[in-house]
Amino acid sequence: MGRAFVYVIVGGGVAAGYAAHEFVKRGVSQGELCIISEEPVAPYERPALSKGYLLPEAPARLPSFHCCVGTHEERLAPKWYKEHGIELILGTRVKSADVRRKTLLTATGETISYKYLIVATGARYMLLLLLCNFSHFLMYENVQVILELVVWLPWTKFNFDCIRPGQVDIIKRPKLVNVMQSCTGGNAVVIGGGYIGMECAASLVINKLNVTMVTAVNLRDGNKLPADMVVIGIGIRPNTSLFEGQLTMEKGGIKVNGKMQSSNSSVYAIGDVAAFPVKVVGETRRLEHVDSARKSARHAVAAIKEPEKTGEFDYLPFFYSRVFTLSWQFYGDNAGEVVHFGDFSGNTFGAYWIHKGQLVGSFLEGGTKEQYEAIAQATRLKPKVEDLTELERLGVEFALSV
Ligand code: FAD
């Protein structure tokens, strides 16, 4: 049993959605493109999950955050794919790939062949786990999990060091949001202070939980943190296993060139799974942010459709977060010496990173559109900075004057 497509995207997350959008913009015929995704729903924007999805009032729900809502373009609900002749093969895991034969084998036993393959398999959480009344926990591995996965196990078997999905019985799968609501008024512990942990903590507070943020929990030493609920957000691992031994890897991801093309010329990689040359920092990086997923996806499709006209991907690393009423943006690299500026008790403050006498990174909280554009532009231009005290005094004015 098998089907053949000109273009196949494996993975159905943010990068896949934006790649499909770019294919349609550049022209794709009925039946030429398919997306194979382990998730049961069409590609959607992840940032909504730790922000709008957990809100107690008017929470975001699909279809409101399908792909392209994040860039204010037409939203790619399932109907959109149908109208453009794109095959969505959902709820289907690709279990092996043969890049020499240009084929994929799905868990349902179907062989799918391609002319061009775009790998958009993203990354999996090492562990993001939620514990309620110490009688069960939820584990977020990816967004699908955020929407519905809960793994229950008796507290007596619980051990932070040895939880692996294969080791536990899946008895019931209520939604995370229901468990969170059932803990209202209780205590939550959030392990990991990255932006997802921060955003989740803010959502829990808004849902009336008392939140403690820590960086590690060790229940073996006898210490017990009072908690009705625990959330763990300690990072991710790229989903590269389908291609180990077949494609060149770097920085834990699939190494690609400035056209997002891997060591096999028919295979491209985009989003969290791709390690690509970031010109502005002069090295190969793997980035785990939505803007990079969107733009690398568009660039790969441009390179496939119009190779002669498409140059090297020249990406300025960018990411953002929102916690309570705070909202910030970061551009570039956090290397070198950091210079803080602004009023930390007020609305607008930030930081610059100076490396080898040049501005290489900028962070701004509470900026205007014009100020954010200015720090992005200044970071890209990498101006020389000689006087750090003066830089601190000028703050965002420095970026506006570059
Ligand atoms: P993903 O969106 O993770 O998609 C990967 C897809 O591949 C999934 O559909 C998965 O099921 C599928 N897949 C994997 N293996 C297989 C297989 N073998 N067969 C079939 N399908 C497979 N970034 C920001 O910049 N700002 C934010 O505020 C922000 N907030 C976030 C909040 C949350 C809760 C999450 C989870 C992420 C957030 N991110 C944010 C990160 C951003 O969403 C990711 O960088 C982005 O989703 C990466 O896109 P991707 O397509 O590479 O991977």
pLDDT in tens, 191-220: 777 787 888 889 889 989 888 887 745 556
- Centroid of ligand 1 to alpha carbon of 230 (angstroms): 22
What pLDDT score was predicted for residue 215?
Answer: 74
The fold adopted by the segment(s) 127-234 is FAD/NAD(P)-binding domain (3.50.50)
Q: Over 70: is that where the pLDDT of 160 sits?
A: no
pLDDT score recorded for residue 220:
60
Q: Is any ligand 1 atom within 6 A of the Cβ of residue 10?
A: yes
Nearest CA owner, ligand 1 atom 47? 14
Contact of 375 with 367, CB cutoff 8 Å: yes
Asked whether residue 129 carries a pLDDT value surpassing 70, the answer given is no
Q: Confirm or reject: Cβ of 228 under 6 Å from ligand 1.
A: no
pLDDT of residue 36: 98
* pLDDT attached to residue 233: 67
290 Cβ below 6 A of ligand 1: yes
pLDDT in tens, 218-242: 556 666 666 666 666 667 789 999 9
Q: Looking at the domain that runs over 2-124+237-305, which CATH code has it been given?
A: 3.50.50.60
Mean pLDDT to the nearest integer, 245-249? 98
Q: Is 35 in the pocket of ligand 1 (CB under 6 A)?
A: no
Interval between CA 271 and ligand 1 midpoint (Å): 8
54 — pLDDT class (breaks 50, 70, 90)? confident
pLDDT (0 to 100) of residue 47: 85
The answer to whether the CB of 15 is under 6 A from ligand 1 is yes
Q: What is the pLDDT of residues 174-184, one digit of tens each?
A: 455 766 777 78
**Phi and psi dihedrals of 149, rounded to 5?**
-80, 130
Residue spans in the chain of domains classed CATH 3.50.50.60: 2-124+237-305
- Confirm or reject: Cβ of 143 under 6 Å from ligand 1: yes
C-beta of 49 in contact with ligand 1 (< 6 A): yes
For atom 10 of ligand 1, the residue with the nearest CA is: 11
Topology (CATH level 3) of domain 325-401? Enolase-like; domain 1 (3.30.390)
Residues of the chain with CATH 3.30.390.30: 325-401
Answer yes or no: is the C-beta of 121 below 6 A from any ligand 1 atom: yes
For the residues 20-40, what does the mean pLDDT come to? 96
